[in-house]
Amino acid sequence: MLSVRLSDRETVRLKCEWLNPGGSVKDRPALFILRDGLARGELPGKRLLDASSGNTAIAYAMLGAAAGIGVTVCVPANASRERRALLRAYGAEAIFTDPLEGADGAIRTARDLAGAHPGRYWYADQYNHPANPQAHYLTTADEIWRQTDGRITHLVAGVGTTGTLMGAGRRLKEWNPRVALIAVQPDGPFHGLEGLKHLATALVPGIYDPALPDRTEFVTTEEAEERVRVLARDAGLLVGWSTGAALVAAARLVRGLSDRPTVRPSDTVVVVVAPDAGTRYLSEAERLGGRGGEEEVP
């Protein structure tokens, strides 16, 4: 976990989930879901099938390769070239769906495939599988608690499947009911924040409990992109778009807390979950600020 200064008055702790073996926070639920399918005897002899915006697909592909399990993933066609390359490298079958339908289109395609070929596929259904939040309840929350010495006051996380906030958030509140949970969503249905959902206009995951978050922050794609660019150039940290969105929300939160005379900065520990690194989006150069200082070599 890193301490990141967003401004002279804004410092947060960044939970660097890109350090997981597969490069994202999704390694956790993918492992727990795969183990559950094996333990129940439902997965052996079939291919694991699921929908994903990209990171869970990569985690499934990595784990499936290690376990000798075939993997088929439905992913929006606007997934970055880096994500596509990783899926190919791990040998997964990728079905690319209408990018305008986002993750919901991928979910519908996966459901149709599972229904049409029940003998071929085991549908993991990460958006509704209880092992998704359970992974964060048992691992992510424990790490955050230990890494902050139990001093965490706020958890900021983007919501897509919602597993991170539901699992880690629920566990942290059991340890300290005063821990505030901040959900981060795109500001509308059409956005460029891969992995996040605008829940008012999307298929709502079955694992989501709307009563659990203490507040929701809505962030524009442009705000998130700018935060990613600034963090890369000012702090040497290249994070993904959903992390940029979470940092925008965290900056608002810390700014509001610092304006309260009764709140001491030393008493506030804001943890931001960073799902992945920006290296998965290097092909989207225009979003990262173009060519930057690159020069042609004669």
pLDDT in tens, 190-228: 999 989 999 999 999 999 999 999 999 999 999 999 999
Query: Per-residue pLDDT tens for 108-155?
Result: 999 999 999 999 999 999 999 999 999 999 999 999 999 999 999 999
Domains of the chain (ranges plus CATH)?
2-21+136-281 (3.40.50.1100), 27-123 (3.40.50.1100)
Give the per-residue pLDDT at 285: 74
Widest distance between CA atoms in the chain: 62
Nearest alpha carbon to residue 29 among 209, 180, 145, 162? 162
Query: Per-residue pLDDT tens for 235-284?
Result: 999 999 999 999 999 999 998 887 666 666 668 999 999 999 999 999 98
Nearest alpha carbon to residue 241 among 288, 202, 201, 204? 288
The pTM for the full model equals 0.93
Taking phi over 0 as left and psi of -120 to 50 as alpha, with beta for the rest, 114 belongs to alpha
**Mean per-residue pLDDT over the chain, rounded:** 94
Pairing mode of beta strands 11-16, 270-274: parallel
What is d(CA 162, CA 106) in angstroms, rounded to the nearest whole number?
17
Report the percentage of the chain scoring pLDDT > 70. 94
Give the per-residue pLDDT at 295: 45
